[in-house]
Structure 1
């Protein structure tokens, strides 16, 4: 029997939700973003076309592919920052992943889809090396179509804050700024929405109601830290996503008062030195717009001032008509 024939490919359905989530939690490169209670919070906006790969002989899951479809393009996943094949601790090497990739391509091609847009999971989120998909993409003649640059700290070997950030931190301390974990999502969201609208004319990806829902579903993974002034008013904050290997700043915002007092420098010094637990990396997030073609150099300078250095979020495409 051909190795590819030993694989069963099936569309995800809610019937296997628990099985899916258990696989993600035991995988070597999955995070809570791939668990169904997270993925499904916006299922009204994305048409799911995730795949489950099983061994034919015993029905055991060997791989997952979170995905959504838009028009004639399948994306892994349209509603997530990163995506790709979710791999088990063992039993799926580079050779077998070639068969999984071929099975996925055949499945989507059979549905009449034209492109597979594959968002890499950056290595900083891997619990164990999981770059087999890079090789499978190469063998599938995938092309690199987008690269976004993020700023990341290696926590056990963190660079010192630059002079400007240290100066701002001292300014915030003199002003009596206090940093702590907060449950005041509404107060922070008010600042976040104002900042994003005034500076970029956009709204947060998540509404306040959505982030409160996700916080209730993943209380240990989603945490808010704020900086308050001497009167207790929130002047800066960051919403953090905690994964086994990396803490990710999902949102960062400071009010005009917060910017004047240098509150973000004190906020991130506290987070980086005291609130990252056993994580290896802190990810400030990407600094790009226009599908990677525009780099916000001022934002990158600020993040690098806190000790961050570059990693990339890559997106590949496979032509399913070839």
Structure 2
């Protein structure tokens, strides 16, 4: 059902009939990502009941908002690394304010007290479009979390000399490793091998499991072979380290890494990550190591943060807001 919201803006809830339109919009958006594609959002739809919106003005699509029901309210989007308004081009502060005011009114009509709004970090924008930050402030949104992402810029000028690379060069002399990256069908047989290494390390070091199951990551990698890659560092037939990349048009995100004791002795993961950064820069992309936070962003894992900084990474912030409805 389409709902008029003032300023010529109308909102309508997403339905499966909108999938093709939604996916075309996301693919060409100034701040889009394959994470917003319905093929990605749909893999965990059972855990995140959809409450997404298509936002139009005079019949023309202005933005989409990936969102789901979240307790008494709604969120954009706890099941994704980031969320918020997805726009084809920057709308400008005033138009964005009108859009978010309409979103706010929609939540109020539904009886939802607030929207959790996770912004799209600037490094994932093809064009800067942070108008939503200003509009959120104008509408009384509260900043509830600010993550410090460790990132390296899209050119070699943004990769300053650092401790890690000389160490890696020294360790490289001790062992000849084969580094290779796979995607799609080529990676199908390698996922179980890497996932076994990843699960063992996460359990041993943190008592945790990966966010995705093996079946889920294989499903997503099959759906998005141009965006999900698996890198392996091997010595003979043995896999010493691995890394999973989620690649978009503007940035490459390091999603998972794993290595064992044998890999640490020869800096296998370091070598793999150096190559990943170089490949991202060759494509004009930022490289995002992700955050190093604990306790819902209130603390920093100093060792992990130091490791990322040793590659030359520096901080880009990722803001989460609560917008009252």
- Asked if 2 retains the 8 angstrom alpha-carbon contact of 1:177 and 1:228, the reply is yes
- Asked if 2 retains the 8 angstrom alpha-carbon contact of 1:63 and 1:87, the reply is yes
1:82 alignment counterpart: 82
Cα 1:275–1:83, aligned 2, differ >3 Å: closer, same or farther? closer
- Asked if 1 retains the 8 angstrom alpha-carbon contact of 2:51 and 2:67, the reply is yes
Match of 2:33 among 16, 31, 36: 31
Tell me whether 1:210 sits opposite 2:210 in the alignment.
no
Match of 1:254 among 259, 266, 278: 259
Q: Alpha-carbon deviation of 1:198?
A: 1.2
3-state SS of paired residue (1:45): coil
Q: How does 1:158-173 map to 2 (within 5 A)?
A: 158-160=158-160, 162-173=162-173
2:107 alignment counterpart: 108
Q: Alpha-carbon deviation of 1:161?
A: 5.0
Tell me whether 1:307 sits opposite 2:325 in the alignment.
no
When structure 1 is superposed on structure 2, of 286-295 and 153-162 the one drifting more is 153-162
Q: TM-score, normalised by structure 1?
A: 0.93
Distance in 1 (CA, whole Å) between partners of 2:284 and 2:199 is: 29
3-state SS of paired residue (1:129): coil
Q: Alpha-carbon deviation of 1:319?
A: 2.1
Distance in 2 (CA, whole Å) between partners of 1:253 and 1:162 is: 22
1:125 alignment counterpart: 124
Q: Alpha-carbon deviation of 1:119?
A: 0.4
How many residues are paired up? 315
- Asked if 2 retains the 8 angstrom alpha-carbon contact of 1:152 and 1:282, the reply is yes
Structure 1: 5+ residue runs without aligned partners? none
Tell me whether 1:284 sits opposite 2:283 in the alignment.
no
1:200 alignment counterpart: 206
Output one character per residue of 1:35-64: Cα deviation in whole Å (capped at 9) or x when no partner: 110111110111110111112x3x221111
* Pairwise CA RMSD: 1.6
- Asked if 1 retains the 8 angstrom alpha-carbon contact of 2:181 and 2:229, the reply is yes
- Asked if 2 retains the 8 angstrom alpha-carbon contact of 1:237 and 1:252, the reply is yes
- Asked if 1 retains the 8 angstrom alpha-carbon contact of 2:36 and 2:66, the reply is yes
3-state SS of paired residue (2:100): helix
Distance in 1 (CA, whole Å) between partners of 2:83 and 2:73 is: 15
1:43 alignment counterpart: 45
- Asked if 2 retains the 8 angstrom alpha-carbon contact of 1:169 and 1:262, the reply is no
Q: TM-score, normalised by structure 2?
A: 0.93
- Asked if 2 retains the 8 angstrom alpha-carbon contact of 1:4 and 1:100, the reply is no
Output one character per residue of 1:212-242: Cα deviation in whole Å (capped at 9) or x when no partner: 111111101000111112x221111110011
Structure 2: 5+ residue runs without aligned partners? none
